[in-house]
Amino acid sequence: MLDRWAGFGYHGCMFVRAVEKRNPGSPTTYTYHRLMESYRTSRGPRQRTILNLGRLDLPKQEWKLLADRIEEILSGQLPLQPVAERIERLAGHYAPLVEQREGRRETPAVEQEQPEYRRVDLKSVEQHRGRTIGAEYVSVAYLRKLGMQRIFAEVGLSVSETQIAELLVIARLVHPGSERATGVWAEHASGVGELIGTQVKKLSHNALYRVSDRLYENKEQIEGLLRDKENGLFGLEEKVILYDLTNTYFEGTGAECDELQHGRSKEKRTDCPLMTVGLVIDEWGFAKHSEFFPGKVSEPGTLEVMLRKLGAIEGATVVIDAGIGTADNLAMLGEAGYHYVTVGRGPALAGDVDLAEGAVQIKAEGNNRVTGKLIKGESEWVLVCHSEQRGAKEQAMAAGFRRRFEEGLEMIRSSLTKKRGHKSYEQVLQRIGRLKERSHGIHQYYDIQIDRSGEVVTEIRYSYTQSERAEQRYSGRYYIRTSRSDLQETELWQLYITLTGVEDSFRSLKSELGLRPVYHRVERRIKGHLFITLLAYHVLNAIRHNLRTAGYRMRWSTLRDRLSTHIISTVTMNTEEGRRVHIRSTSRPEVFHRNIYRALGLGAGPLRRRMTEL
């Protein structure tokens, strides 16, 4: 311990001590904990308090592990042995507090340079050109770990074009925006140029646009090379393939691109033209292939296009949702040598299954309990599932649908008695028709009778006659269909819920990587923008995969914000000889920064210190 703390102001080793206190006049005793330091002096060993820890909720046998881990963090060293998560969390909390209290400097875990002493004018010290570096460092490291730099060169991009391509992808990860916003960010807010070696001040918007075009021109080859690299790097087998679609909206009319069409927007932006994005991923979230479709494309019809380019191993299982899992598509998957897993609203062979007998508990977590029962059919197996949480949610939704539908019927009905109300049979039918369109399907459980005298409606009567059918529909029951007969209930259910991985991917693309909205008007620019976002997703998923392995599950937006506090800046000062010294260096990484870098297998220092003297 003595050698390890030499040069840091500490004299000995740390340990935790329990201290009992009692308020005057009170019989109750309180136990508090202190972080102590023992050290030697000319008069013998001494001890002192470094930090009051408060009440420490940790077994006594682990106190020394905590003290040792705090020492390691303060000295910038990695742990010699694996550390329990609770100890790492507590050490990460207390170490910065020790730094603040003691006013000591932490030595980064990088090779130490030889000291160089100068006499300087302290009043002349200035700091400027501060730029963010943390999220950029992580992103550049993993972009190159995936081999994108070599892939860009392999498809024909020059050295300068490769650097610009890296900049476009990193910007989409760290500061999503347009090409113009990318240029401003790279020049005035980020240290990304120093990491990738490009002169961001000299970049024009046209240069960024041209590289975007080049990337999209080579989309198929780039995706294929990335897929091979990820399979080898992470040992991916592609036994499970997930496919789904989403769409993104565009500002403007979309008149210059035929594929921009108005349709059903996932973001409820029916006022904007759309383009549809199809994405194939594996169970770990790694993207395999993507396609761009017109905004009004029929979802089931896209599967055949994707299958031709999928190239998955024979016998792989394709997981799709109900909108894509049509009878024709399921037959097509079988002919192509794939298994399928999809969901249905109520296949005839399992519609009346009694789950009270023979059902297996699939999940029991908090207030949610999921049970299921496998039913064997002629050509497929069906897992009948019931979720208590989903059932409660669907019942509440159905009650809301019923209330709004009946309120609408009452408004139409009351109009019959008003002087200027709509009374003609044709008008009433139109109003009821529009109300049914907005009813989320609840109208099918009602019986509506219209009385009329000639072409004038005299009365509207309705009743909720199909309550049993509605109760079954909104009961939290759903049906998972598969061509595989080797899976048990829990295995099949877990395989299906991997489809939420595609939803997470789309959520990341839209909310964290700037997929929407798009302001381009020309087709190649639009698709270039979308493809750059997908390239950024490749990097993001590789980062998340390694972080999950290390126990970190925070969202990229949160991680990005916290890493942004790691910066690079220039410190200048005047020496006694009348020279001006400029030192360009990164800030000392905080505990959080170091933990993330370590989890990702990166060093603590993104860039070496540079010094110039004028």
At 99 the pLDDT is 67
At 69 the pLDDT is 85
Judged against a pLDDT cut of 60, whether residue 401 lies above it is answered with: yes
At 375 the pLDDT is 86
Of 568 and 358, the structure prediction assigns the larger pLDDT to 568
Nearest to 150 by CA among 139, 140, 159: 159
- Beta partners for residue 15, in sequence order: 36
Of 110 and 401, the structure prediction assigns the larger pLDDT to 401
Give the number of other CB atoms < 10 A from CB of residue 545: 17
Across the range 505-528, mean pLDDT stands at: 79
Q: What tens digit of pLDDT does each residue of 106-128 get?
A: 344 444 567 788 899 999 999 99
At 10 the pLDDT is 41
Judged against a pLDDT cut of 60, whether residue 1 lies above it is answered with: no
At 346 the pLDDT is 57
Per-residue pLDDT band at 552 (split at 50, 70, 90): confident
Across the range 11-18, mean pLDDT stands at: 78
Residue bearing tokens 């190159």: 144
Lowest mean pLDDT among 140-149, 328-337, 453-462, 493-502: 493-502
Average pLDDT, rounded, for the chain: 85
Judged against a pLDDT cut of 80, whether residue 44 lies above it is answered with: no
Judged against a pLDDT cut of 70, whether residue 494 lies above it is answered with: yes
At 102 the pLDDT is 56
Of 147 and 605, the structure prediction assigns the larger pLDDT to 147
Of 232 and 9, the structure prediction assigns the larger pLDDT to 232
At 11 the pLDDT is 41
At 87 the pLDDT is 87
Percent of the chain at pLDDT exceeding 70: 90
Separation between Cα atoms, residue 54 and residue 67, nearest integer Å: 14
Across the range 408-416, mean pLDDT stands at: 93
- Residue 365: helix, strand or coil by DSSP? strand
Q: What tens digit of pLDDT does each residue of 133-155 get?
A: 999 999 999 999 999 999 999 99
Lowest mean pLDDT among 48-57, 223-232, 430-439, 478-487: 48-57
Query: Are 404 and 446 within 8 A, CB to CB?
Result: no
Q: Please tell me whether the overall predicted TM-score, pTM, comes out greater than 0.75 for this model.
A: no
Per-residue pLDDT band at 48 (split at 50, 70, 90): confident
Output the DSSP codes for 550-587: TT----HHHHHHHHTT-EEEEEEEEETTS-EEEEEEEP
Judged against a pLDDT cut of 50, whether residue 391 lies above it is answered with: yes
Of 442 and 367, the structure prediction assigns the larger pLDDT to 442
Residues 6 or more apart in contact with residue 403 via CB below 8 angstroms: none
Of 108 and 512, the structure prediction assigns the larger pLDDT to 512
Residue 555, Cβ density class (10 Å: 0-12 exposed, 13-18 middle, ≥19 buried): middle
Query: Are 195 and 136 within 8 A, CB to CB?
Result: yes
Across the range 408-432, mean pLDDT stands at: 91
Lowest mean pLDDT among 104-118, 277-291, 299-313: 104-118
Torsion of CA 86, 92, 93, 99, to 10 degrees: 150
At 112 the pLDDT is 53
- Residue 478: helix, strand or coil by DSSP? strand
Per-residue pLDDT band at 439 (split at 50, 70, 90): very high
Judged against a pLDDT cut of 70, whether residue 185 lies above it is answered with: yes
At 563 the pLDDT is 95
At 568 the pLDDT is 94
Of 350 and 126, the structure prediction assigns the larger pLDDT to 126
Per-residue pLDDT band at 100 (split at 50, 70, 90): low
Query: Are 556 and 544 within 8 A, CB to CB?
Result: yes
Judged against a pLDDT cut of 90, whether residue 168 lies above it is answered with: yes
Across the range 536-551, mean pLDDT stands at: 92
Percent of the chain at pLDDT exceeding 90: 36
Lowest mean pLDDT among 15-24, 71-80, 218-227, 298-307: 71-80
Separation between Cα atoms, residue 509 and residue 194, nearest integer Å: 26
At 351 the pLDDT is 55
Of 366 and 373, the structure prediction assigns the larger pLDDT to 373
